[in-house]
Chain A
Amino acid sequence: MSARDDERLYHEQGVTLPETPPPSTDPPPWRETLTVGKRRSRVDGYERLSGAAIYPSDMQLPGMLHAAFLRCPHPHAKLTSLDTRAARALPGVHAVIDDTTPEAAIDWNYQGGEGGRLFAGHCRFEGAPVAAVAAETPHIAREAVEAIVAEWEVLPHVSDARDADAEDAPRIRDGGNRIGEPSIYTRGDVAQGFAEADAVVERDFHTACELHTPLELHGCVAAWDGLDLTIWESTQGCFRVQEQVAGYLDLPLSRVRVVGHYMGGGFGSKLETGKYAVVAALLARRTGRPVKLVLTREETMLVCGNRPANSMHMKVGVRKDGTLTAIELTGRGSGGFWRGGTGLVDWLAKDLYACPNVRTELTSWATNAGNQRPFRAPGHPQGSWALEQVLDELAGTIGIDPVELRLRNVPGESQARGGVPYSSTGLAECLRDGAREFGWEEARRRTRESREAWLARGGNGGAPHRLRGVGVGGCVWVAGGGGPPATVLVRMYADGSVTLNMGAADIGTGTRTVMASIVAEELGVRLETIQVENADTGTTAFSGPSGGSKTVPTDGPATRDATVALKQQLLAWASEQLDTPRENLRYAGEFIEVRGRDQRLKVTDVERLQRRRSVVGVGHRGPNQEGLAICPFAAHFCEVEVDTLTGEVRVLRFLGAQDSGRVMSRKTFDSQVYGGIAMGIGFGLTEERVLDRGQTGKLCNKSWHDYKLPTAMDVPADLVSLPIELQDDRCNNIGAKGLGEPVTIPTASAIANAIHDACGVWIDDTPASPPRVLAALRRQRDRKEARR
């Protein structure tokens, strides 16, 4: 940890490095690995723990001003007048810009070319900005915003997709409140499928809107140097911000540098450029000073995205032997005024379990609320909530264990892609090995006995009132295979030490550590000695934003490609120097060995390297193999305790069995699994954006006091990460698939199934809050009493 620790560059002698393939050939798959997949601490642990890591919101520049927005306080309103004179007159205020400011008359594109101007006066959601201020301190900037006098004509609004097509719903959108045509998918014949079923279950579900709320606020610092603009932004993708800002400001890419070395979480909400980046740049240009524009927590909850709420009707048919005959899903949702709100909600229904007859129909409605943004596995946790519960209900109806029912329906290919094979599929192993590791069968026996004893006593809350249950859920993630483009540079100095240069952000998932592990694996240098430079459009090679579980399978293969290219160059030079054919040489870390001879050359004694002082290997991410679906799979198992007096659900333990191909770094792999489970617990038990539906339409819980994230008291200490590490030689040259999304897909549905296992009630809507659980228990009791 300290600077005085081991300074050695190379691993112990005697390790065997991967063979270096001849130029223009793919490196063979790794088998045994030395660094990759091992339990190693992160390469940037020191920076993150010491405070040395500078996050964009930590940036300070000489003369820097602070900016703030004036935002629309209504879900739907027109600005009728705006008086900024008092704000401008405040001491310490340097600029106020609004829609009348010439350079701010920019057409904004929320989606598909729509969005109105940057400071459009017709505001379609609470929080739409209409002016911005730059001042000496954040306090003065806020005061100036308060001093702006805005008058509004409040317009009728719709705040929930369930109200958007009501007869008396206000028409908020030209051409009707519906966004686009319903999205319909069919395969086979569901009517026929249901006719063939021995049991059919159908239920209505609703999943609440979830807010990303990463710990670091959305924001940036913008500074001009003549015609050149630099933006330090908390982003998942600095190159995307560069392209979008350059587009809005009509600048060449070479004049816009976006730096995002560190960032404090995004979960999908920092994949795109916010208005704040463009506005900070405009204010900085106008004032001639650097400008910091970091949103408040309340603002981020209004305007920085969400996982849309979804209403779903799920109907599934099954034969007595457990084979599925039909799945039908109809759903609706809203991604705000500009965006659809049902994307990928039906993917699990279409692809996860083998079923010949499937029909899905999804409809998006416009509402007057903040835009959705991709949120960790878009659509999937919602669809899982419905599908996995109905499967468990069917398992109960036909008397098959829930794990067994899922195992009987593991598909051999990607059905939603018309039968394309997966590069690898570990769904069955996730279910089987996960169940064994979890102690599923024993736990099921135990919980059944306690539930039946409790129900026999009338299930009326008599002691014991704390009942335990276990639940399972399976999943696939639609993507996770990565793909081009990405370029990575690996450089070796004359002393043999190495730097890694890549565009990808490390959003907390361990990207730096994973990529450095790849370099270490190929070169034999110690992980800790590799300097990583990343996420800076001015100094690093291109990569897309980190999201969708695509960073490891995108930038990982490019990193291996770059490292192999570096070795090939050194081998070519050594071949020249030793006057030995290249194929007779072997790259072995500190030395280049001559095969079959007791001769070796120190890498740092390669003359060309010494003359040039450094050598660079360039790697690119090539296309994936055609005709393959590259997808990670998972199964989650949990045990909960339901308090039948209070309705409180406590999660006691969780196991995540994950097939993401090769484990690239065991510590960061496990942390992803734990983190995905924690987030899924929030989705299932505590999180819900509340709009004042039917009244003002405003966001009621725009704070962490009222919008409940899981805390240290809600997430169990007993978390198990079980990698299902299949050798996948077809997905890419590192054998790894994505991990970040599948770790949070079946979490909430496993909890819902565990609640049912504990006390016999189904929870249709998220979050499974105490009032909701109590209401379900009350209904169960009433039904029993009515039958008596």
Chain B
Amino acid sequence: MRDRDDSDASRRNFLKTVGLGSAALASAGAGQGRAELAAVEPEKLQKILLSINGRQLSVLVEARWTLLFVLREQLGLTGTKVGCERGECGACTVLLDGVPRYACLTLAVEAVGHEVTTLEGLLDGEDLGPVQRAFVENDAYQCGYCTPGQVMAAEGLLRENPAPDLEQIRVGVSGNLCRCGAYANIFRAVADAAKLRRGGGA
């Protein structure tokens, strides 16, 4: 909802430029009522090629759509969760070329040319990957909603640093909130996952 005057037209233009805003409302002269605003065409769909979990996918997207929205609502990859849509909680963490990234702050068009890995991409067929197994074994979750993001943050950390110490683990998952408070077990799970990934037992 906005105030009656339309002095934020420049903000809207800025948002449109970066792809977050909308083009559904034409700008109107100051003092005009909202009812007189003319509707215009919604943002055009454009075809992009995304590489997700090792597969090439051709998708129609609006420029303003986030990677999070496209993964969940267009591709049905709902392992990636929505928590805040403003880069605060990390529930939507995916890997972009192996590096953890908030999918809510990444536009789908920005992901073109990069390898996207989601929670589903850590599975080997029906089997859980090492980080996922370590989370189950260490009960590193309660409601499980932040868990995909925690797992992806841990996966990214371990790809960069295969043998992190406790402090490095804490920093590695510090961008991921867990309201259930499973942190201590998450630390243990990540340490165990590091061993699993190095082949130190199952």
Q: Chain B contacts of A71 at CB under 8 A?
A: 1
Asked whether B88 lies within 8 Å of A83 as measured between CB atoms, the reply is no
Asked whether B25 lies within 8 Å of A143 as measured between CB atoms, the reply is yes
Tell which of B36, B82, B119, B187 touches A51, judged by Cβ atoms closer than 8 Å.
B119
In the complex with contacts A89-B39, A264-B81, A216-B143 CB distance below 8 A: yes
Report A69-94 CB contacts with B as 1/0, cut-off 8 Å.
01101000000000101100111100
Asked whether B1 lies within 8 Å of A509 as measured between CB atoms, the reply is no
A509 to B76, CA, bound (A): 27
In chain B, positions 61-84 with a C-beta closer than 8 Å to chain A are: 62, 64-65, 69, 72-73, 76-84
In the complex with contacts A41-B139, A264-B144, A508-B180, A703-B84 CB distance below 8 A: yes
Tell which of A70, A216, A507 touches B81, judged by Cβ atoms closer than 8 Å.
A216
A125 to B131, CA, bound (A): 44
Report B20-63 CB contacts with A as 1/0, cut-off 8 Å.
00101100000001111101011000000000000000000010
> By CB atoms of chain B within 10 A, which of A45, A57, A262, A296 has the most?
A45
- Is B182 an interface residue, CB under 8 A from the partner? yes
Q: Which of B95-103, B109-117, B171-179 contacts A (4 or more CB under 8 A)?
A: B171-179
Asked whether A49 lies within 8 Å of B181 as measured between CB atoms, the reply is no
Shortest Cβ gap from B116 to chain A (Å): 14
Q: How many interface residues does chain A have, given as a range?
A: 35 or more
Asked whether B181 lies within 8 Å of A675 as measured between CB atoms, the reply is yes
Q: How many interface residues does chain B have, given as a range?
A: 35 or more
Asked whether A49 lies within 8 Å of B128 as measured between CB atoms, the reply is yes
Report B108-139 CB contacts with A as 1/0, cut-off 8 Å.
00000000001110010011100011011101
Residue of A nearest to B186 (CB): A712
A508 to B145, CA, bound (A): 9
Report A126-158 CB contacts with B as 1/0, cut-off 8 Å.
000000000001111011011111110000000
Residue of A nearest to B138 (CB): A667
Asked whether B89 lies within 8 Å of A215 as measured between CB atoms, the reply is yes
- Is A527 an interface residue, CB under 8 A from the partner? no
A704 to B179, CA, bound (A): 11
- Is A186 an interface residue, CB under 8 A from the partner? no
Secondary structure class of chain B's binding surface, majority of residues: loop
Shortest Cβ gap from A138 to chain B (Å): 8
Asked whether A717 lies within 8 Å of B187 as measured between CB atoms, the reply is yes
- Is A678 an interface residue, CB under 8 A from the partner? yes
Shortest Cβ gap from B27 to chain A (Å): 13
A284 to B181, CA, bound (A): 36
Residue of B nearest to A665 (CB): B139
Residue of B nearest to A675 (CB): B181
Asked whether A215 lies within 8 Å of B146 as measured between CB atoms, the reply is yes
Tell which of B1, B24, B64 touches A91, judged by Cβ atoms closer than 8 Å.
B24
Asked whether B88 lies within 8 Å of A48 as measured between CB atoms, the reply is no
A672 to B180, CA, bound (A): 8
- Is A60 an interface residue, CB under 8 A from the partner? yes
Q: Chain B contacts of A50 at CB under 8 A?
A: 79, 119-120, 123, 128, 132
Asked whether B179 lies within 8 Å of A46 as measured between CB atoms, the reply is no
Asked whether B1 lies within 8 Å of A146 as measured between CB atoms, the reply is yes
In chain B, positions 158-195 with a C-beta closer than 8 Å to chain A are: 166, 170-171, 173-174, 176-187
In chain A, positions 641-699 with a C-beta closer than 8 Å to chain B are: 667-668, 670-672, 674-679
Tell which of B78, B132, B133 touches A54, judged by Cβ atoms closer than 8 Å.
B78
- Is A713 an interface residue, CB under 8 A from the partner? yes
Shortest Cβ gap from A637 to chain B (Å): 16
Tell which of A147, A216, A510 touches B34, judged by Cβ atoms closer than 8 Å.
A147
A352 to B180, CA, bound (A): 26
Q: Chain B contacts of A138 at CB under 8 A?
A: 69
A42 to B141, CA, bound (A): 10
Q: What would 28 A/B residue contacts be, using CB atoms closer than 8 Å?
A: A41-B139, A49-B128, A49-B135, A49-B141, A49-B144, A50-B132, A51-B120, A51-B148, A55-B78, A58-B81, A83-B33, A90-B39, A139-B62, A149-B35, A213-B179, A264-B144, A265-B179, A265-B180, A508-B141, A510-B142, A672-B142, A674-B185, A678-B180, A678-B181, A678-B183, A704-B84, A711-B177, A712-B186
Additional pairs, 5, CB under 8 Å, beyond known A297-B86, A704-B84? A85-B35, A215-B81, A216-B143, A679-B181, A719-B184
Nearest 3 interchain pairs by C-beta: A678-B181, A51-B79, A264-B145
